[in-house]
Amino acid sequence: DTMGPVNLRAEEEAAELERQIQGMQAEKDDLVQAIARLRQGISSLNREGRERLAAAFETVNKHFQELFVRLFGGGRAHLSLAAVEEGKDDPLEAGLEVMASPPGKKLQTLSLLSGGEQALTALSLLFAVFLTNPAPICVLDEVDAPLDDANVGRFCDLVAEISRTVGTRFLVITHHPLTMARMDRLFGVTMAERGVSQLVSVDLARAEQLREAV
């Protein structure tokens, strides 16, 4: 009487619970296998990512060294991967250090250079990445603003060469007269009347042809 009535369905309930346990165990095995496959896939992707990063880094670094010398008229520079934490040398978790030595200066990090030198070094790195994977169109917004006339000339020479060899069309937003004089076509906005803006276009290449014909 103290134990209560006998459960006549105990055997059936035990069998049902056993089936539930077996189903949960099967789901657990599937999850373990899925986790293993996922970890294997991540490992494979990381391995391929490291290989691609190493190859791309070498290519970009080579372009950067060459372009730096061209834009500065000398000096030397290189890129390096810096470990974020001591003891970790995984390139996927590494930071990027830009070491540059303009003509007459010692090798130092980008942050220690002057404003104009930083801009020119950044342009070298920008074009180094661009040459690694060129695009049909490139927009440059006031990148020549901090440069002096000599460096603007080198910058324009480089843009003209890339446009000629790679076939990229450059859209340069600038206020520098030397840069504007080196472009094939100019677009500007003028205000002939107060509050009335007008777009002006000048084909410099065509203008030079007409001048030579005259």
Task: Give whole-number Cα distances, 9 to 5, 13, 113, 151, 171, in Å.
Answer: 12, 6, 84, 92, 82
The torsion of the CA quartet 86, 87, 89, 95, rounded to 10 degrees, works out to -10
Show Cβ contacts of residue 160 under 8 Å, excluding neighbours closer than 6 positions.
Answer: 182
Give dist(CA 185, CA 205) in Å, integer: 7
Query: Chain centroid to CA 133: how far?
Result: 10
Tokens of 141: 């917004």
Length of the chain: 214
pLDDT of residue 19: 93
Quote the pTM value: 0.71
Query: Chain centroid to CA 96: how far?
Result: 12
H helix or E strand, kind and range, residue 109: strand 108-109
Tens digit of pLDDT at every position of the chain (214 positions):
788 888 888 888 899 999 999 999 999 999 999 999 999 999 999 889 888 988 999 999 999 999 999 989 889 999 988 765 555 667 777 888 899 999 888 888 888 888 888 989 999 999 999 999 899 999 999 988 888 888 899 999 999 999 988 889 999 999 899 999 888 888 888 887 788 888 888 888 777 777 777 6
Amino acid of residue 123: L
